[in-house]
Amino acid sequence: MTYRSSWMTEELDAFRDPFRKFLAKELAPNAEKWRKQKMVDRSAWRALGEMGALLPSVPEAYGGLGATFAYDAAVFEDMADVAPDALGGVTVSSGIVAHYILNYGSEEQKRRWLPGMARGELIGAIAMTEPGAGSDLQGVRTHARRQGNAYVVNGQKTFITNGQTADLIIVVARTGEPGAKGLSLIVVETSGNDGFRRGRNLDKIGLHASDTSELFFEDAIAPPENLLGGEEGQGFTQLMQQLPQERLIIAVCAVAAMERAIRLTVDYTKERKAFGKPIIDFQNTAFKLAERKTEATIARVFVDWCVGRLIAGDLDAVTASMAKYWCAQKQVETVDECLQLHGGYGYMQEYPISGMFVDARIQKIYGGTNEIMKLLIARSL
């Protein structure tokens, strides 16, 4: 029986076929170059924009397609399968940053930023993590003070996706008292902002084409209207409202990666022979793949249900945490086992499973670590 995601539509079928061909022809061949230069070319962003793949669930008035999150899910799945090197930055700019602006930005801000982001001309980042504050965001020390007609931002962020390329960065900054209530989200525009400095493009064990950076704010300036939501002190609540979508995106990408890993491994084990027969004919190989296929199917059905809940507007934080934690965990286990079934070739960079292995590992850490996900789930018991 062929399974079809409950959120798929004929319109999405018509989009996905040419989109996957575009990814294979225009983006995938650049992967090695991007990995070497540790970032994706801007031309790829613009090409994705032209395909209608950026900000699809943003209204047409702001440059999007006015579609639902199903469209985002389709884009992320196809990228995870066909051109995974370009995926990380796109999920952040298109799937996360754009939605903060859409939900909390003023009319003027939405018109100023979203159409450029949809065209791939503006790249967005979100800077929560600091050297001394990751899981515990209440410990954020970067601060923004009102001085005259501007916010003056000081502090340091780290591990920021799109940090080298971002034109606008949503900065989690302290505008008031210690703790959650003193946090605000302020958009810092990077162009011509003398107090803003990009640090190193960090050396990672995987995700080599995705730039991940330190950022420095030393009297960086943001106009007061760049405070998202109009009032100070709402940052933590805004983060809590948006994190379910971010976490579901991680789960969507995890399922696509699991399915790809299994497909690649089935193909490989049918080709590769040992002791006179294809290695898939060993019961251990076939059983391992049967187990992984079962788990990937369970993950897909659960994630599809979560996508439906998000589209309906009622995906709660606990369920999104379950999806993020479990799918990331299963992705890591699946790619590890699939690499094992490739033998020594699985450890060679020319086989895609080796890249999938190192790229998967971060899924248990970013977007809230899996331990933090379990904390959130446990609190609801």
Ligand X SMILES: Cc1cc2nc3c(=O)[nH]c(=O)nc-3n(C[C@H](O)[C@H](O)[C@H](O)COP(=O)(O)OP(=O)(O)OC[C@H]3O[C@@H](n4cnc5c(N)ncnc54)[C@H](O)[C@@H]3O)c2cc1C
Residues acting as catalytic residues: 246
Q: Is 249 in the site for ligand X (CB under 6 A)?
A: no
358 forms part of the interface with ligand X (CB under 6 A): no
Q: Does 188 bind ligand X (CB under 6 A)?
A: no
CA–CA dist 71, 367 (Å, integer): 21
Give the span between the Cα atoms of 268 and 262, in whole angstroms: 10
Least Å distance between CB 43 and ligand X? 22
Q: Does the footprint of ligand X cover residue 186 (CB under 6 A)?
A: no
Q: What is the rounded CA–CA span in Å between residue 7 and residue 310?
A: 11
Q: Is 9 a residue that touches ligand X (CB under 6 A)?
A: no
Question: DSSP 3-state assignment of 209?
Answer: coil
The nearer residue to ligand X, 264 or 356, going by C-beta atoms, is 356
Whether 172 contacts 120, CB under 8 Å: no
Pair of tokens at residue 151: 């916010």
Contact indicator for 280, 269 with CB cutoff of 8 Å: yes
Q: Which residue is nearest to ligand X (CB)?
A: 134
Q: Report the residue number, 156 or 369, with the smaller CB distance to ligand X.
A: 369
Whether the CA torsion 282, 288, 290, 296 is positive or negative: it is: negative
The number of residues that bind ligand X (CB under 6 A) is 21
Ordered DSSP codes for 288-350: HHHHHHHHHHHHHHHHHHHHHHHHHT---HHHHHHHHHHHHHHHHHHHHHHHHHTGGGGGSTT
Comparing CA positions, the residue from 280, 226, 268, 233 lying closest to residue 356 is: 268
Least CB distance to ligand X at residue 142 (A) = 11
Q: Provide the minimum distance between the beta carbon of 65 and ligand X in the complex, in angstroms, as a whole number.
A: 24
x/- track of binding to ligand X for residues 121-160 (CB under 6 A): -----xxxx----xx-----------------------xx
Which of residues 210 and 354 has its CB atom nearest to ligand X in the complex? 210
Q: What is the DSSP string of 86-123?
A: GHHHHIIIIIIIHHHHHHHS-HHHHHHHHHHHHTTSS-
What's the token pair of residue 221? Answer: 């300036």
Pairing between strand 273-274 and 183-189?
Answer: unpaired
Looking from the CA of 369 toward its CB, the CA atoms found within 13 Å total 10
Cβ nearer to ligand X, comparing 9 with 201: 201
Nearest distance in Å: CB 164, ligand X: 12
Are 163 and 198 in contact by the 8 Å Cβ rule? The answer is yes
**For residues 293 and 337, what is the distance between their CA atoms, to the nearest angstrom?**
12
Cβ at position 110, least distance to ligand X in Å: 22
Give the contact letters, 206-235, x = binds to ligand X (CB under 6 A), - = no.
Answer: -x----x-----------------------
Of 274, 290, 375, 378, which lies in the binding site for ligand X, with binding defined by CB under 6 A? Answer: 375
Binding residues among 310-329 for ligand X as defined by CB under 6 A: none
Structure token pair of residue 24:
């294979």
Q: Which of 68, 93 has the CB closer to ligand X?
A: 93
**Minimum gap (Å) between residue 267 Cβ and ligand X:** 29
Q: Which two tokens stand for residue 160?
A: 């920021």
The 22-41 site mask, x for binding ligand X (CB under 6 A), equals --------------------
Residue in 347, 325, 323, 324 with CA at minimum distance from that of residue 335 = 347
CB of 130 to ligand X, least distance (A): 8
- Compare residues 86 and 128 and give the one whose CB is closer to ligand X: 128
3-state secondary structure of 58: coil
Candidate ranges 36-44, 218-226, 251-259, 363-371; the one touching ligand X (CB under 6 A): 363-371
Per-residue string for binding with ligand X, 81-120, x by CB under 6 A?
-----------x----------------------------
**Residues 212, 213, 218, CA angle at the centre, nearest 5°?**
155
- Cβ proximity to ligand X, 288 vs 368, nearer residue: 368
Nearer to ligand X, 93 or 269 (CB): 93
**Contact set with ligand X (CB under 6 A):** 92, 126-129, 134-135, 159-161, 204, 207, 212, 362, 365-366, 368-369, 371-372, 375
